[in-house]
Chain A
Amino acid sequence: AQSVSQHNHHVILSEAASLELGCNYSYGGTVNLFWYVQYPGQHLQLLLKYFSGDPLVKGIKGFEAEFIKSKFSFNLRKPSVQWSDTAEYFCAVTNNAGNMLTFGGGTRLMVKP
């Protein structure tokens, strides 16, 4: 069975600080990896995805993530956060059949102005 771990539950940063949110998954086969963001009171929105190819993927709003297969990791990064990045971030994985998306527990990010 797939599982996803996000080790940081709450992160507080000041504006312009750099961000890295950890995500590790367990699954032996080929995976598709995602980061979703949920702004307060809103639905889940896709930030970026990895299916294959370049392991460094760039998403919306200046976010990027790196797939490191040997570490089963897909960490999310942003060089300089803004107050508007305050949200909850979810890492998710699905196998190549793509039928069941398994989410991590989420990381709540607060950016102080």
Chain B
Amino acid sequence: EPEVTQTPSHQVTQMGQEVILRCVPISNHLYFYWYRQILGQKVEFLVSFYNNEISEKSEIFDDQFSVERPDGSNFTLKIRSTKLEDSAMYFCASSDSRLLHFGDGTRLSIL
């Protein structure tokens, strides 16, 4: 069964540095998402992406965040000038319509 893959599985970064989290969605999917889960809290929607542009974003997704689909396969989340509170598990998801398939997540630790 096709899967959403995310790299790296764990990223440790100094506060203030930029990070890029990478995702390879399922190949025939057209909708892409990023969610995050701060330890002990609920999974939160960050952003959805369709047709090479952001279709919806949450309040969390401020100017610090950006997404890109640089080629036909990757979908990236960039966090500029990371803060301690950005430490979380970040999940990428893709869908063909209404059913989301999630990746294993990237655990981001900000020191």
Q: In the bound complex, do residue A49 and residue B102 qualify as a contact, i.e. CB atoms below 8 Å apart? A: no
Q: Are B42's CB and A46's CB within 8 A?
A: no
Could you mark each residue 91-106 of chain B with 1 if its beta carbon is under 8 Å from any beta carbon of chain A, else 0?
1010101111111110
A99 lies within 8 A of B42 (CB)? no
A residues in contact with B58, CB < 8 Å? 100
Residues of A in contact, count (CB < 8 Å): 21
Given contacts A103-B42, A104-B42, A106-B42, contact A98 B105 (CB under 8 A): no
Knowing A44-B43, A44-B91, A104-B42 touch, does A99 contact B99 (C-beta < 8 A)?
Answer: no
For residues 40 through 92 of chain A, which have their beta carbon under 8 Å from a beta carbon of chain B? 42-46, 49, 51, 90, 92
Chain B residues closer than 8 Å to A100, beta-carbon distance: 45, 48, 56, 58
Within the complex, the shortest CB–CB distance from B90 to chain A, in Å, comes to: 11
- With the chains together, A109 CA to B48 CA distance in Å? 30
B68 on the interface (CB 8 Å rule)? no
Taking the complex as formed, is B44 at the interface, i.e. its CB lies under 8 A from any CB of chain A?
yes
Q: What residues on A are CB-neighbors of B55 within 8 Å?
A: 99
Asked whether, in the complex, the Cβ of B105 is within 8 Å of the Cβ of A46, the reply is: no
Q: Shortest Cβ distance from A89 into chain B, in angstroms?
A: 12
Are A90's CB and B99's CB within 8 A? no
Question: A44: which B residues are within 8 A, CB to CB?
Answer: 43, 91, 102
B33 at interface, CB cutoff 8 A: yes
In the complex the two chains form, what is the Cα distance from A104 to B43 in whole Å?
8
Q: Spell out A's residues near B (CB within 8 Å).
A: 32, 36, 42-46, 49, 51, 90, 92, 94, 98-106
29 contacting pairs across A/B (C-beta < 8 A)? A36-B102, A42-B104, A43-B91, A43-B103, A44-B43, A44-B91, A44-B102, A45-B102, A46-B99, A46-B100, A46-B101, A49-B99, A51-B98, A90-B43, A92-B43, A94-B98, A98-B31, A98-B95, A98-B97, A99-B31, A99-B56, A100-B45, A101-B35, A101-B45, A101-B100, A103-B35, A103-B42, A103-B44, A103-B45
